[in-house]
Amino acid sequence: MITFFNTLTGKKEGFVPLTPGEVKLYTCGPTVYDFAHIGNFRAYLFEDLLKRFLQFMGHKVTHVMNITDIDDKTIKGAKTQGLGLAEYTRKYIAAFFADLKALNIVPADVYPRATEHIPEMVAIIKRLVQKGFAYKKDGSIYFSIAKFPAYGRLSKISLEELHPGQRVDVDEYEKESVHDFVLWKAKKEGEPFWETEIGPGRPGWHIECSAMSSKYLGESFDIHCGGVDNIFPHHENEIAQSEAAFGKTFVNYWLHCHHLVRDGEKMSKSRGNTITIPDILKIMDNPAALRYLLLSTHYRKTLNFTFKALEEAATALERIDEFAGQVRYGSYPEGETPQAAQMVSEAEARFRSGLSDDLNISKAMTALFNLIKKVNVAIAQGELRSRDAKAVDRFIGSVDRVLGVINPRQSVTIKVDSVSAKLSVIEPGGIVAGETELPEITAEQKELIERRQRARADKDFALADRLRRELLEQGIILEDTPDGVRWKAAAPPKKTG
């Protein structure tokens, strides 16, 4: 049974989709007034994990993510730069898609844009007016929260805090100003507007998600996600609009991702500590490590982003990649063992049950790490067989359909001369400890191996990788093991001097 923590009910609940085997998922997308920062992407990655996991569990997922290309902020930004709205938002939309790709996020089925769904929004607003949930004032149209008794259920605001009859025109506001919120904003000088049946103007922010979700997913659907910042007012208002208009439950499960802080501080433009995906990749060009870092904290916990944490993620991931490569490309004696089959099925069950528990990523990763540990022991003891390795490889492949971060290292694909393929170990101090029949290496090559060890210890992965390649060009293949680095010769090593 899959369980999710439902913000609406405040507890973990068993997940049952409306149609067995099919999940309809709506996730609030970016407001394209600026480059999205890493905090935004934490939410998009949580949603990607959720979607990939549901697919892993055999569900067909239909995923819709809107793009807010008109609201207070986009209009203000375009004005400041003296650009048309579409011209202004274009570069942020392009950057958003480039970042999604860099982070290996599975694309949504549809990315509807607000400006392309004005008729759908107008239709819902008309209906709300007809049903008495909305009223017109000075050319604008407002939702009357007093008419919707369930208002506040998602964000748990008490009814005493409500100010029915008072109006709020801005798209974003705090809980302190719970007012009738704007659905349609009257035409204003210098703002884009549409001529419609409900008068000239433009939509408020919240109505677009009600319009686009019902268009692409239906009036009732399974899961709606966003960051915790979206709970109030945005999601509260979406519920009011949709349920008042359609008279049925809007969404069954509301999942919200918590904040990302940077070096312990909330990230915000006013603090000047926001950071974008390209900014980070300029400093450390390892998008898989960034993805891994952002996924590896449970979505309902605050995530503290630091470059040290990113380096640690890179190291952890490098270990997984090397293991995956060793399993995929290593050569093992023919056959299979019951022990390996047991290890794999246990790991698989634990990985599934971990994520089934409200996406408990720590439990899932522990399942993977335990398997790596056990298989490494089997390899070291010469017990892993070729079909065992294939089973482990398959498991890693299926795990990675969810994680999307593993790139098995191919450095061991090169054909190894059977005589010189015996492995040797250098301990961190640089002392050769391994087997007696060492492949010959020169003092210079040994020096390179030791320099690479130091680079790794200093987390200078770029240098470590360069030294690894340099050695590979000389016919020395390196393998990192829990005991230290091992090498084998790909071809008779070059002699110098």
Report phi then psi at 266, rounded to 5: -60, 135
Chain residues 51-90 in contact with Zn ion, contact rule CB under 5 A: none
- Per the structure block, which two tokens stand in for 32? 């394209």
Binding residues among 143-182 for Zn ion as defined by CB under 5 A = none
Cβ 22 to Zn ion shortest distance, Å:
22
Closest CA to 44 of 122, 123, 110, 108: 108
Residue 303's DSSP bridge partners are 260
Whole-number minimum distance, CB 253 to Zn ion, in Å? 16
Using CB under 5 A, which residues numbered 213 to 252 contact Zn ion?
A: none
What is the x/- site pattern for Zn ion, positions 384-423, by CB under 5 A? Answer: ----------------------------------------
Smallest gap, in angstroms, from Cβ of residue 10 to Zn ion? 21
Compute the residue count for the chain: 497
- Segment near Zn ion (CB under 5 A); pick from 6-14, 46-54, 207-215, 377-385: 207-215
**Residue 28 CB, nearest distance to Zn ion (Å)?**
3
Residue 198 phi, psi (nearest 5): -95, 15
With a CB cutoff of 8 Å and minimum separation 6, the contacts of 397 are: none
User: Rounded to an integer, what distance in angstroms lies between the CA atom of residue 276 and that of residue 262?
Assistant: 12
Tell the smallest beta-carbon distance from residue 27 to Zn ion (Å): 8
Nearer to Zn ion, 28 or 217 (CB): 28
Nearer to Zn ion, 28 or 416 (CB): 28
The phi-psi region of residue 228 (left if phi > 0; otherwise alpha if psi is between -120 and 50; otherwise beta) is: alpha
Nearer to Zn ion, 209 or 372 (CB): 209
- Closest CB to Zn ion among 220 and 273? 220
Does position 114 interact with Zn ion (CB under 5 A)? The reply is no
Alpha-carbon dihedral sign for residues 212, 216, 220, 226? negative
User: Is the peptide bond preceding residue 233 cis, with omega within 30 degrees of 0?
Assistant: yes
| Among 250, 256, 220, CA closest to 4 | 256
Q: Taking contact as CB under 5 A, which single stretch among the options 103-111, 202-210, 274-282, 319-327 is the one that binds Zn ion?
A: 202-210
- Per the listing, tokens 């939309």 go with 93
**Burial class of residue 270 (count of CB atoms within 10 Å of its CB; 0-12, 13-18, 19+):** exposed
d(C-alpha 6, C-alpha 10), whole Å: 6
In the complex, least distance from residue 203 CB atom to Zn ion, rounded to whole angstroms: 12
**Residue 127 one-letter amino acid:** R
**H-state helical runs in 231-385:** 236-246, 277-283, 287-295, 307-329, 338-356, 361-380
CB of 338 to Zn ion, least distance (A): 51
Rounded (5°) CA angle 479-482-484: 60
Segment contacting Zn ion by CB under 5 A, of 28-36, 180-188, 304-312, 485-493: 28-36
Residue whose CB is less far from Zn ion, 28 or 317: 28
Shortest spacing between CB 224 and Zn ion, in angstroms: 8
Closest Cα partner for 237 from 144, 166, 161, 300?
144
Nearest to 319 by CA among 252, 369, 389: 369
Applying CB under 5 A, the span of 25-33, 157-165, 187-195, 299-307 interacting with Zn ion comes to 25-33
The one segment of 204-212, 313-321, 344-352, 403-411 that binds Zn ion by CB under 5 A: 204-212
Site string for Zn ion, 294-333 (x = CB under 5 A): ----------------------------------------
Task: Work out which of 209, 277, 441, 467 binds Zn ion, going by CB under 5 A.
Answer: 209
The CB-of-70 to Zn ion minimum distance in angstroms stands at: 13
Lateral strand order in the sheet of 60-65 = 60-65, 22-27, 221-227, 251-257
Query: Can you tell me which of 2, 8, 23, 28 binds Zn ion, judged by CB under 5 A?
Result: 28
Least separation in angstroms between residue 426's CB and Zn ion is 55
The label of the residue with tokens 């890693």 reads 396
Q: Are strands 303-305 and 260-262 parallel, antiparallel or unpaired?
A: parallel
Q: Which is nearer to Zn ion, 70 or 209 (CB)?
A: 209
Binding part of the chain for Zn ion, among 4-12, 175-183, 203-211, 250-258 by CB under 5 A, reads 203-211
Q: How many residues bind Zn ion (CB under 5 A)?
A: 2
Least distance in angstroms from the C-beta of 52 to Zn ion = 21
Site for Zn ion, rule CB under 5 A: 28, 209
